[in-house]
C-alpha cells in the first residue's frame, strides 16, 4: 500500500527488551514499517545497547532509524524524563554517569524486592528474568509478580503496589535535569523533555522550569504523548513555543508492558531532519 501523507512521520519514543519494553528492537522496526511510518527512535532507559539491532532491522525494512535514549532526572521536586537523540556512543562523561545510574537501579530494585518478598513469593532471580535487559526498574519487578500470578498485568502492579508512596516503593538515583541536558548536548545529542503533562502528575511541568531548562540547552518538548493530560496541553503548547522549544510526538511504546500503541502519536519528518543536522549520531 502507498504511504499516505498522514501516515508518514516518526514515532520518537519506544522501549525494547534492552530496558523495560517486552519486544525486541527488530520487532519494533518491523511493526513501524507495517504501519507505514517513516521511521522511529529507540529510546531505552539508560542504555543504547539496542541501537545496532534496531538500525539493522530498520535498514532491512526500508525505514529510517534515529538513535535515542531516555534518562530519568530530577528537577524542582519533579522527576522529568529526558530523551536524548543522536548522542555519540563514545562520550565518556555521559556513559560514566549512565553506568552509575544503572548500578544504583540494581541496588534500589533489590531493596524493593526484599520488601516485596515479605508478602509475595518472588525472588531476585525472577526479577532479573531477561538476559537482554541492561537496566532494571519497577516494570521488571511488576513482570515477576505477574508471572507469579499475583496480578493481571504491569499496570495493575503499578496501581496497587509500585506507586510512589507505597510501602514497597523506593526512589531511584537520578541526575539533575539541567545536568543531564548538558551531558546530552556535550555528547552531541539533542535533548527533548518527555511526557511533560503526564497524567500521573498533579500538574504539567511549570513554564518557569521549562524556561530554566531551555536556558540549559533543552531543544524540544514531547507535547503529543498518550499519557499527556489533554487539558494541560494548550497552555503548555503556547508557553513552550514562546520559549522556543520544538514540539515532538511519540507513543512511548513498551510492547505488552503498557497500553500505548506504536504510532499513537508521531513527529513530522522535517523535525527529525532538523534533529539529525545537530547530532553526532544521526542514524
Ligand atoms: P522506574 O524508573 O524503575 O521507577 O520505573 C518507571 C518506569 O515504569 C517508567 O519509565 C515506565 O516505563 C514504567 N511505568 C510507569 N508507570 C507505569 C504503569 N502504570 N504501568 C506500566 N508501566 C509503568
Ligand atoms: Zn519505560
Ligand atoms: Fe518516561
Ligand atoms: Fe519512556
Q: What is the DSSP string of 53-113?
A: HHHHHHHHHT-EEEEEEEEEEEBTTB--EEEEES--TT-HHHHHHHHHHHHHHHHHHHHHH
Task: Give yes or no for residue 46 CB within 6 A of ligand 1.
Answer: no
Region 25-32 average pLDDT: 98
**At residue 281, does pLDDT exceed 50?**
yes
Q: Is 195 close to ligand 1, i.e. is its CB under 6 Å away?
A: no
Q: What angle do CA 70, 76, 77 make, to 5 degrees?
A: 85
Cα separation of 35 and 29, whole Å? 10
Mean pLDDT on 207-234: 98
Ion ligand 3 — residues with CB < 5 Å: 81, 194
Q: Which residue has the higher pLDDT, 235 or 129?
A: 235
What torsion, rounded to 10 degrees, do the Cα atoms 118, 119, 125, 131 define? -130
Over residues 113-139, the mean pLDDT reads 95
What is the mean pLDDT of the segment spanning 72-79? 96
CA of 163 to the centre of ligand 4 (A): 16
Q: For residue 4, what is the DSSP state?
A: P
Nearest ligand atom owner, CA of 14: 4
With 0-12 / 13-18 / 19 or more C-beta atoms within 10 angstroms meaning exposed / middle / buried, residue 123 is exposed
Would you place residue 129 in the very low, low, confident or very high pLDDT band (cuts 50, 70, 90)?
A: confident
**Nearest CA, atom 18, ligand 1:** 155
User: How many angstroms separate the alpha carbon of residue 196 from the centre of ligand 1?
Assistant: 15
Residue 149 pLDDT greater than 80, yes or no: yes
Query: Is ligand 1 within 6 A of the CB of residue 158?
Result: yes
pLDDT attached to residue 7: 60
Torsion, Cα of 274, 278, 280, 282 (10° steps): 10
**Mean pLDDT on 106-134:** 95
Nearest partner of 140 among 188, 165, 118, 172, judged by Cα:
172
SS3 225: coil
Q: Give CA angle at 36 (33, 39), nearest 5°.
A: 60
Q: Which cell is 218 given?
A: 533543552
- What pTM did the predictor assign? 0.96
Q: Residue 113: name the closest of 42, 67, 181, 168 by CA.
A: 168
Question: Coil, strand, or helix at residue 276?
Answer: helix
**What's the 62 CA to ligand 1 centre distance in angstroms?**
31
Mean pLDDT (the chain) is 96
> Which residue pairs from 149-158 have beta carbons closer than 8 angstroms and sit at least 24 positions apart in sequence?
150/120, 153/256, 154/256, 154/257, 154/258, 155/258, 155/259
Amino acid at each position: 500500500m502507498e504511504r499516505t501523507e498522514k501516515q508518514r512521520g516518526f514515532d520518537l519514543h519506544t522501549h525494547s527488551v534492552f530496558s523495560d519494553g517486552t519486544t525486541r528492537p527488530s520487532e519494533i522496526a518491523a511493526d513501524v514499517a507495517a504501519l507505514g511510518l517513516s521511521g522511529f527512535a529507540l529510546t531505552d532507559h539508560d542504555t543504547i545497547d539496542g541501537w545496532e539491532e534496531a538500525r539493522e532491522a530498520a535498514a532491512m525494512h526500508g525505514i529510517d532509524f534515529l538513535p535515542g535514549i531516555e534518562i530519568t532526572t530530577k528537577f524542582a521536586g519533579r522527576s522529568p524524563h529526558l530523551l536524548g537523540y543522536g548522542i555519540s556512543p563514545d562520550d565518556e562523561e555521559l556513559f560514566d554517569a549512565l553506568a552509575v545510574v544503572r548500578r544504583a537501579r540494581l541496588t534500589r530494585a533489590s531493596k524493593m524486592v526484599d520488601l516485596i518478598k515479605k508478602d509475595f513469593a518472588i525472588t531476585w532471580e525472577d526479577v532479573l528474568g531477561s538476559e537482554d535487559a541492561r537496566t532494571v526498574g519497577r516494570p521488571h519487578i511488576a513482570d515477576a509478580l505477574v508471572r507469579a500470578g499475583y496480578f493481571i498485568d504491569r499496570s495493575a502492579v503499578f496501581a496497587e503496589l509500585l506507586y510512589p508512596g507505597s510501602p514497597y516503593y523506593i526512589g531511584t538515583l537520578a541526575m539533575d535535569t539541567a545536568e543531564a541536558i548538558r551531558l546530552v548536548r556535550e555528547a552531541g545529542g539533542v535533548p527533548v523533555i518527555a511526557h511533560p503533562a503526564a497524567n500521573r502528575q498533579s500538574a504539567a511541568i511549570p513554564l518557569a522550569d521549562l524556561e530554566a531548562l531551555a536556558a540549559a540547552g533543552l531543544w524540544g518538548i514531547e507535547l503529543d504523548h498518550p499519557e499527556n493530560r489533554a487539558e494541560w496541553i494548550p497552555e503548555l503548547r503556547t508557553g513552550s513555543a514562546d520559549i522556543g522549544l520544538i514540539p515532538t510526538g511519540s507513543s512511548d511504546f513498551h510492547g505488552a508492558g503498557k497500553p500505548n500503541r506504536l504510532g499513537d502519536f508521531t513527529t513530522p519528518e522535517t523535525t527529525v531532519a532538523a534533529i539529525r543536522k545537530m547530532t553526532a549520531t544521526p542514524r
